[in-house]
Homo-oligomer: A and B are copies of this chain.
Amino acid sequence: MKEHHFKIQKKCSTTKARLGSLKTAHGEIATPFFMPVGTHATVKGMCSDDLEQIGSQIVLSNTYHLYLRPGLDVIQASGGLHGFMNWKRPILTDSGGYQVFSLAKLRKITDEGVRFRSHLDGSAHLFTPEKVMDIQKVLGSDLMMPLDVCAPYPCSRKEAERSVEKTTSWARRTLEYYRKNQQEHQILFGIVQGSVYDDLRKRSAEEITGVGFDAYAIGGVSVGEPVEEMFKAIECVEPFLPDKKPRYVMGIGMPDQIVKAVSCGIDMFDTCIPTRYGRHGSAFSRKGRFIITNMKYSADQKPVDEGCGCFVCKRYSRAYIRHLLRSSEILGLRLLSYHNVYFYIKLMQDIRHALAEDCFKDFMTNFLNEYYAQMT
């Protein structure tokens, strides 16, 4: 395995947080980092130049969606997902497993893989551990996820156990195929499952790290469980993850959750929260989240987040963005999504800066105090 891909430059002296860098086929990424979610080969409302402009180091896209539409032939003809989206920096793709379980119809898990029908047209498909590696080869992803079984929440112990077993068995097949399939320029993650059961989390972590991957992800979180359960899972699994490999908690979270998860030793994050909340009028600011469509902002000439240096905050007022959203104008969705994604990217830059100066603990305290202040 390619340990040299990931370098830890500095460890926080008071928390488990780490500052590092991850080398990929499309450039080096400073860690910890956040990945904006580009489900259909676009971070909703934003073009690739916008993402570069806000300093996004990487985007995440979804294997399940791209496989169904536009389909692999179109992506292949475009020179992979990078060419299709006109995005020159790294891309992480998931395995599609999560979407098969949450979106597809008539899914059936067998030892071979998972059969399902497309949520778009009902057509029948089979994802196997090998097939999702083939797909991600065509996509040209820099970081790849293996097919796993993500247990829902709530979930019986028996169901969680089956998800752990299947995930481990598929992880072994994935790694074997990955080697044969000459994909080693694409960094492969192992995924830990186990739901809310500490002993299953521990077992899964031991089994997956036993198989041996380039990087590790904690899956089966952010599936509807209480925040406490999410952090319990992170804290349970983290000690089993090799210090020298990148650690990714899939699908989280709110800004305060990300800061806390960094303090637990996590390096990578993704969530559609900044764009999804933006489309519904929620604005992120250092003083907490607020609903910009509220009446009180109707003539507010301040930028979304005072002191924010983003393109949107330098040009447009809360009053204008509120008006656009209330008028169902595309530009409103676009501007607020842009600001919110910038907010997440800038947060990670601030976190890395604090780690470099070894003042992350203070940074976290100050950030959370300011972020929670208006909620109390």
Q: Could you name 18 residue pairs across A and B whose Cβ atoms are closer than 8 Å?
A: A40-B327, A41-B320, A44-B330, A44-B331, A45-B330, A45-B334, A47-B316, A47-B334, A47-B335, A70-B319, A70-B322, A70-B326, A77-B299, A77-B301, A78-B320, A84-B323, A85-B320, A86-B316
Interface residues of A in 227-283 (CB under 8 A from B): none
* CB of A186 within 8 Å of the partner chain: no
* CB of A308 within 8 Å of the partner chain: no
What distance in Å separates the Cβ of A277 from its nearest Cβ neighbour in chain B? Answer: 15
Q: Is the CB of A333 within 8 A of B335?
A: no
Given A73-B299, A84-B319, A298-B70, A47-B331 contact (CB < 8 Å):
yes
Q: A47-B331, A74-B323, A77-B299 are in contact. List 4 more A-B contacts (CB 8 A).
A: A42-B329, A70-B323, A84-B320, A85-B320
Contact with B along A298-318 (1 / 0, CB 8 A): 110100000000010001110
* CB of A69 within 8 Å of the partner chain: yes
Interface residues of A in 31-46 (CB under 8 A from B): 40-42, 44-46
What distance in Å separates the Cβ of A320 from its nearest Cβ neighbour in chain B? Answer: 6
* CB of A48 within 8 Å of the partner chain: yes
Q: Is the CB of B317 within 8 A of A78?
A: yes
Interface residues of A in 205-226 (CB under 8 A from B): none
Residues of the B chain whose Cβ atoms lie less than 8 Å from the Cβ of A320: 41, 78, 84-86
How far does the alpha carbon of A77 sit from the alpha carbon of B320 in the complex, in Å?
Answer: 11
How far does the alpha carbon of A323 sit from the alpha carbon of B78 in the complex, in Å?
Answer: 12
Contact with B along A40-66 (1 / 0, CB 8 A): 111011111100000000000000000
* CB of A30 within 8 Å of the partner chain: no
Question: Which residue, A311, A331, A333, has most C-beta atoms of chain B within 10 A?
Answer: A331
Residues of the B chain whose Cβ atoms lie less than 8 Å from the Cβ of A324: 40-42
Residues of the B chain whose Cβ atoms lie less than 8 Å from the Cβ of A335: 47
Contact with B along A333-364 (1 / 0, CB 8 A): 11100000000000000000000000000000
State which of B45, B70, B315, B323 has its C-beta within 8 Å of the C-beta of A49: B315
